[in-house]
Amino acid sequence: MTVQPPGSIDILHDVQLSPLTTIVLGGIAKYFVACQSVDHVCEALRSAQNQKLRVHILGGGSNVIFSDEGFNGLVIRIEMKGISYVDRGDSFLVTAAAGEEWDGFVEHCIARHLGGIECLSGIPGFVGATPIQNVGAYGQEVRETIVSVKALDRQTLRSVEFSNSECMFGYRQSRFKSNDADKYVITGVTFRLHKNGRPVIRYPELQKFITLTTDLNTIAEGEPALRAVREAVLTLRRRKSMVINPNDRNSRSVGSFFMNPILSINQLNDVKSRWQRGGGEGEIPTFPAGDKAKIPAAWLVEHTGFLRGYRSGGVGISENHSLALVNRSGTTSELLDLAIRIQHAVHERFGVMLEREPVVVPA
């Protein structure tokens, strides 16, 4: 990356996008710039406006899939850094710039005895992306700790700030992904994290693992207990190849490709009826979601015949997690074809259309 002198940006031409993504797919960006300050982002957006260029905002590349043809516009990579603290008695308000690496931020907070995001360890990407889809894992979501989100209006170039309620968080959802998709560039996020945090374990898989391996009651509050939970989460994620590792071919993915469908009672009954009519045995696993029910997308995928290790050309399904579509020296076209086949198979078998998690960027 070119280092930008103060007050200027260096727009590059014909930059390969695949190395900037965790799935290592995508062609060439016609124009590319790395922005290390809000002023740099403003300058880049202004330049794109003047030249009437399409713009794509890129963070850590963990939830994005670029076309094989690349991107015929300007890719702006967010690289602002910095973490600050405000003491609020029993908690700290911790503000992180959007370009901070997320797992590094989690580790940073745990080292300072701050609790509230320890179950989100090991998730790839940058801080600025976490509010967009309300990142969650192992019983925690960022909406539980986010106080406010700072952003830049892409048209007016004015800075704005949204409170937690104004972010309109939902399951893997926010205003930045729905109503205001592509309207703002997130520049910083403020979290409220508890001093000497005592982790609360809600997720059954994590509860079971910790019960078998660690007695949290014997571990001091704050960093020791939070780190024990972090290590447990990282162990579980590594088993599923959900921690980026260049030596693990199953980690060349965008994490979970499909979201768990949330169904009304009538929809759930229809799924159960289809399952039984098709000769299915046993109960369909479900989890409460308010007055609705959540079905694991992994179960649906597996029970339509797309099993772990499945391969199609240069892409396939992870050997360790049936929701992770992996790149085995394939192409974006192959990956999306596989995703569509899985969606159609699930819909035909269960009447449910799976919704993908990653952003697919057209050329």
Give the whole-angstrom CA distance, residue 178 versus residue 9: 30
Residue ranges with strand state E in 64-123:
64-66, 71-78, 83-87, 91-97, 114-115
- Residue 207: alpha-carbon gap to chain centroid: 23
φ/ψ (deg, to 5) at 204: -55, -45
Among residues 54, 112, 172, 238, which one is catalytic? 172
- 174 flagged as catalytic: no
- Which is nearest to 139 in space by CA: 122, 166, 116? 116
Among residues 174, 256, 318, 322, which one is catalytic? 256
Number of other CB atoms surrounding residue 279 within 10 Å: 6
Give the whole-angstrom CA distance, residue 290 versus residue 92: 31
Q: Residue with structure tokens 């925690």?
A: 140
Nearby residues of 218 by Cβ (< 8 Å), 6 or more positions away: none
Both tokens of residue 187? 């520049």
φ/ψ (deg, to 5) at 344: -65, -40
Q: Where are the alpha helices (DSSP H) in 18-93?
A: 38-51
φ/ψ (deg, to 5) at 18: -55, -40
DSSP state string for 213-253 = H--GGGS-TTHHHHHHHHHHHHHHHHHTT-S--TT-GGG-B
Give the whole-angstrom CA distance, residue 127 versus residue 122: 13
- 172 flagged as catalytic: yes
Give the whole-angstrom CA distance, residue 342 versus residue 295: 16
Give the whole-angstrom CA distance, residue 106 versus residue 338: 34
- 357 flagged as catalytic: yes
- Residue 330: alpha-carbon gap to chain centroid: 22
Query: Known catalytic residues?
Result: 172, 256, 357
